[in-house]
Structure formats: structure tokens, C-alpha cells
Chains A and B, each alone.
Chain A
Amino acid sequence: MKIMVCLKQVPHKDARLDIGGDGTWIKEDGIKFEINSYDTYALEEALQVKDAEEAEVVVVSIGPDRVTQALRTALGMGADRAIHVNDDAMNGSDSLGIAKALAAVAKEENPDLVYMGLMSEDGNFAAVAPMLAELIGIPHTTAASNIERSAGSLTVDREIEGGAAEVVELQTPCLVAVQSGLNQVRYASLKGIMAAKKKPLDVKTVADLGLDGQVGAGAAKVQVAKIAPPVKGETAEILQGSNDEIVAGLVGKIKELGLL
């Protein structure tokens, strides 16, 4: 059983978001990065399979040198091997470009299962997972809130509106994009972190994957023209003053609403 887990390293949840020079993304210098939280649930799910039976968990990520840190963390949590696609030629890729790179890795690895997060917390595109499934010709589902495995198939609860779930059955090999809260994500133990240093971490280039001309800014069909703080229409009236004045203001409003 081989499980491929795709993960993305993203700015930390509380990182300062300053718009960069050309206005198309945020400044990355001086901020902390972390593994995209949705992907941590995917990794945990794969590691639970490994706890239960013989399985190889291969983690894959795309990005610059800093991504090594994220992959080592994943190896420390228990993944067996890591693949780092590290090549400036990937810069400016749209979701499809990212999916193509992951598909190239998947075609070499031939996993039984592909797990990844529903979306990344920086771009929030929620695009790569279904795209990857299409490119490698396997069935998929998204927003998984429960996964049951049987011989030859997966039965997955997919979150739909109103707290309900739709149950789908996928023949393996298949891809599942997981929803946050799928499980309780483990911490890397000290022993795990030490062992991680010796686990294989292979670096691949765009040329290695045979993707020249298919990825990066030049191949992207959509691009971010500009990012900016939201144009706020009406926003909240902000209560000013001392704590006492603020509390008095709140009490006054609650009274006005007839709730006190």
C-alpha cells in the first residue's frame, strides 16, 4: 500500500500580510511558514493507515528551499519518504501547473491512495486536488469528513451543506481531498524528528519531471493581477474609548435591541 500525500507550505495563520513590490502577492521575507493545516489532516490520515497496516507514506511538496523544513516535519511525524519539487521554473504556476507537476510525480510513484487538503490557506483555490485526480485518471472526492477503507474501494463522507454528508464510494486507486477536522493531527516526537534526518528527501526539477514549457508563469492560463486589502463598503462602527466606555456602549446597544 502506497499513499502519496501532497502538502503545501503556507504563511503561518497569524503572519503579517504585507503586499509585495509588484502588488501580486505578499512579501515572504521575515514571516513564518507552516504546513497548510488542511494538508496536516491528510498526512495524519495517511499515517493512521500506516499505523494499522503495512503502508509507505510518501510526502510531496512544491516550492523553494524553505519547503525542505515542511517536508522534514512531515517525515518527523512518520512519513517514509519525501519528494521536493524545487525549481524556479515553477514560479507563477496556476493551479493546473501545480497539478501537472504533482501528476508527473504520481505517475512515477503509482500510489494506491492520494490524500491532500481541500484547499490551501493562502490561495484558497481548492483546485489542485480534483485537477490532479483528472490528470492521473483516478476518481476523487472532496471535503472528506470520514474515510472508511475496504478492499478495492474507499467509502467517504463528503461534507455538504447544513451539516449533512453525502456518502460516496470510490474505487481505488483514488484521491481524497480532506476537510479540516477529519482527525486529530499528531505531533512529531523527538525520536521521530531525529529519525527524519536520515529519511530520503529527493529533489526534482521541472526537467526531471519532463514538464518544460508546461508549468510556470509562461504556461499559466490565469494569473493574479493584483492583491489588495478588501475594498470595504460599510464596515462596523468601532466603539472607542476606555474599557468602561466600551462596555457601556455594548450594554446600551443590547438594551436598544430589547434583549435586556
Chain B
Amino acid sequence: MGSILIVTEIQGGQIREASYELAAFANEVGAATGRDVHSLVAGKGAEALADEFSKKGGGSVHLVEGDVFENYNAEASAAAIKAAIEASGAELVLVSNTPSGWDVAPRVAAGLDAGFVSDCFKIEVEGDGVGFHRRVFNGKLDAHMTSSGGLIVATVQPGAANAFEGSTDGSVSKLDVNVGDLKTKFVEIKIAESKGVDLTKADVIIAGGRGVGAPEKFTEVVQPLAEILGGAMGASRPVVDAGWLPHEYQVGSSGQVVTPKLYIAVGISGAIQHLVGMKGSNYIIAINKDPDAPIFEVADLGVVGDLLEVIPALTAAVTEAKG
């Protein structure tokens, strides 16, 4: 029976938490189906990391060393993963659905004519096989996917599982990979310039989405509430994409991740990329016309209604309460 291969990711000199979450899924499925767990650690000077991972659920770790692995490179990464699949006899490959994960995993799958499922929040044993659960339609519906057998590459939503706990016996072996002539080159990382809107420091954030309807409504409706509560205004990605507000207002996986005391989401449906940016908030209130909007799943308190009526009324009531 084929093994399970965990593809780890090194970030800031450490194997990131998301990789330990993969270890949790891998060991659970592995134990239930009698499959061995293997891992790939590719990096520069990563031997100690590989050793650590082998003792925390990584199983048989394949270490790929090289300068070319110091920074992410799609072609080099794909070559390393393919080599590890071969070396481990993997039938199920788990990759975290991070920017590098979603970049390389489909490429690997296509190169091996394998099945591919992405952004799974749950992977579980089903009869003889494995079932994959993920969201479709921007988070509005759940899809349960199955495979017809053979090699499957699956990316897993970071944060979907708790990190592997406990210590295990594992091993580390070196794997040589020939990456070939690369047509992709890492140049540099550009850090986001902070332009004065630091949402991570705000106690209260009022964030508006596409449902706000128009850019002037942010000024007329959303901003006043933020101001009267001494908070900051935020926005979901579609608002920024439409040019209604600049990028520094964006809350989400490619914007700012915030944890205020109070987060009020208005006219935001709650796509996963947005939820990632705010679900750690202390208290979440959501206002949306659609009772099925995914935002209500992370909110503590909700109003199904028209934000253009509710927010001005709330602003007035708060103003009055402040006397």
C-alpha cells in the first residue's frame, strides 16, 4: 500500500506550523489505513529541521539540500517533490495551501498524471479510500470529493487541523535531486510598505465589503461608525480590487491579519481569504442581506439586513449613548 508524503515548508528558518498540521492528518490517515508516513524537507542547511520533524510526526524524512532551495522556486520545488514521491512510494501527497503550495502542487500533479484536490479543510478515511472536503463558490457550499484511485496530490488549508502533538520515532535520509536547467529565478522579496493604516493595532475595526455598494458609501456610512467607536475602517479584497479603497485597508490573507476586540463586517460575504484575516478577532458582528453568507459561521452576532439602514442607525445610537 502506498505511503503518505508530507511536503513541508520552511519559513523564517523554521518548518512552519502548517506542516505540522499536515503531519496530524497524515498520521491519522496513516494509522487508520496502515500506510507509512514520509516527509520531504527541502532547503539549505536544513538537516536539523529535518531531524526535528522526524521526531514530531514526520516519519521517514527525505532531506533535499541545496542552494537552489534557499528560496522558493517552482521548478526546483516540483523536482524535489517528484523525487520524494518516487523515493517514498507515495500514493497520497499532502501540501499546505500556502502561496508556494498552491503554486507548485498542481504542477507536480500534472507532471505525474495524478489526481489533484485543493484547499481541503478535512481529509478522512472512507471505506477503501480517502475523502476530501473543501469549499466551492467562494465558501458558500461544501464539496465532498473522492478519487478513483492512484496517486493523489492534495493541498490542505492552513489552520484546518491542529498541529501534530507528541513525539515519534522517525528517520532522515538524504535525497539527491537534479533540478535541471531552471527557467524560473527567485529575485527578491518585497515587504509591504505600511502606509499609515495599521489595522493590527486597532481595538475596533468596521470592515466593508462589496455589499457596501459604492466607494462613497464607505465615506458616508462605514467611516462614521469607525470614527465614533474610536476604531479603524477596513475592507475586503473585492473593494480594493475595484479601486474603492487602497490596499492598506485590506483585511485578509494577502492584506492584514487582525485580532481586534471588536470586528464588524458589513456587506462582506466571508470568502476564506477574508476569514483568514479576521477570524481570530475577539468578537465578530456581521451584517449582510444574505442569511447564508459564510461570514455568519465565524461571527458571534449577526444581523440579516440592509447595512445602509442598520449602520447609520447604529452610528446615531452610539453617538447618543456617548452623550
Question: A169 touching B301 by the CB < 8 A rule?
Answer: no
Question: A243 touching B292 by the CB < 8 A rule?
Answer: no
Tally the A-B contacts, defined by beta carbons under 8 Å. 270
Question: A160 touching B184 by the CB < 8 A rule?
Answer: no
B128 to chain A, nearest CB (A): 14
Question: A134 touching B107 by the CB < 8 A rule?
Answer: yes
Question: A133 touching B144 by the CB < 8 A rule?
Answer: no
Question: A96 touching B109 by the CB < 8 A rule?
Answer: yes
Within 8 A of A (CB), among B87-115: 98-100, 102-111, 113-115
B44 to chain A, nearest CB (A): 17
Q: Tell me, yes or no, whether A127 is within 8 Å of chain B by CB.
A: yes
Q: Tell me, yes or no, whether B125 is within 8 Å of chain A by CB.
A: no
Question: A232 touching B106 by the CB < 8 A rule?
Answer: no
A113 to chain B, nearest CB (A): 14
Q: Which residues on the A side are within 8 Å of B141 (C-beta)?
A: 17, 19, 26, 227-230
Q: Which residues on the A side are within 8 Å of B110 (C-beta)?
A: 96, 99, 130-132, 134-135
Closest to B296 in A: A236
A186 to chain B, nearest CB (A): 13
Q: Which residues on the A side are within 8 Å of B302 (C-beta)?
A: 235-239
Question: B310 touching A247 by the CB < 8 A rule?
Answer: yes
Q: Which residues on the B side are within 8 Å of A94 (C-beta)?
A: 115-116
Within 8 A of B (CB), among A117-132: 121-132
Measured in the bound complex, the distance between the Cα atoms of B277 and A102 in whole Å is: 34
Within 8 A of A (CB), among B217-263: 229-230, 237-238, 240-241, 243, 247, 250, 253-257, 261-262
Q: Which residues on the B side are within 8 Å of A155 (C-beta)?
A: 187
Measured in the bound complex, the distance between the Cα atoms of B105 and A174 in whole Å is: 18
Query: Chain A at the B interface: mostly helix, strand, loop or mixed?
Result: mixed
Give the most central of B146, B237, B282, B303: most A CB within 10 Å.
B303
Q: A141-B103, A221-B150 are in contact. Are A253 and B135 (CB under 8 A)?
A: no
Measured in the bound complex, the distance between the Cα atoms of B302 and A232 in whole Å is: 14
Please, what's the 1-or-0 string for A144-177, where 1 marks a CB less than 8 Å from any CB in chain B? 0000000000010111111111111111001000
Question: A251 touching B318 by the CB < 8 A rule?
Answer: yes
Q: A130-B104, A227-B136, A247-B314 are in contact. Are A124 and B119 (CB under 8 A)?
A: yes
Give the most central of A19, A128, A166, A225: most B CB within 10 Å.
A166
Q: A160-B99, A167-B190, A248-B317 are in contact. Are A130 and B146 (CB under 8 A)?
A: no
- List 7 A–B pairs whose Cβ atoms lie within 8 Å, in order of A's numbering: A94-B115, A128-B106, A143-B99, A161-B99, A225-B131, A251-B318, A259-B229
